[in-house]
Amino acid sequence: MPLSAYHLRTSVAVSDIAAAVAFYEGKLGLPVLRSGPSATVVDGSRVYGSGGGPALNVYQSVTAGKTPATLATWYVDDIDQTVDELASAGVELVRYPGLAHDTKGITARAGGGRVAWFQDPDGNTFAIEADV
């Protein structure tokens, strides 16, 4: 059976699961679906729900924050409201040189729509996008 028949979950390495829990649960408001070990770290991982099902696996690892690329994107209906909610929770948006950002930190997306980026405590990058 081809992989397209299966659900896909993003995995993100973090250096400190306690700091990650404070960020992903406290600031982003993601619900924990389950927790478990990560290699040799007891209770070193979390599976978070988003969009009605399991979406993000966060685990403690020495490889945390090693990529500058965007690891996952949330597609939202109202990017202004989502950015406002994140800002009120203490999440700072990333502003990239060479891109025009509005006062909230949102920029136009190639091909239409708008996008904003933020990072977790390890520098893992995530995006929020909207088609309008």
| pLDDT tens, position by position, 29-54 | 999 999 999 888 899 999 999 998 88
Helix (H, G, I), strand (E, B) or coil at 34: strand
* Fold of domain 1-61: 2,3-Dihydroxybiphenyl 1,2-Dioxygenase; domain 1 (3.10.180)
Position 74 scores a pLDDT of: 96
Alpha-carbon distance of 122 to 41, in angstroms, equals 18
CATH, domain range 68-132: 3.10.180.10
pLDDT band at 124 (very low <50, low <70, confident <90, very high): very high
Alpha-carbon distance of 65 to 12, in angstroms, equals 9
Q: Domain spans of the chain?
A: 1-61, 68-132
Q: Looking at the predicted structure, is the pLDDT value of residue 1 above 80?
A: no
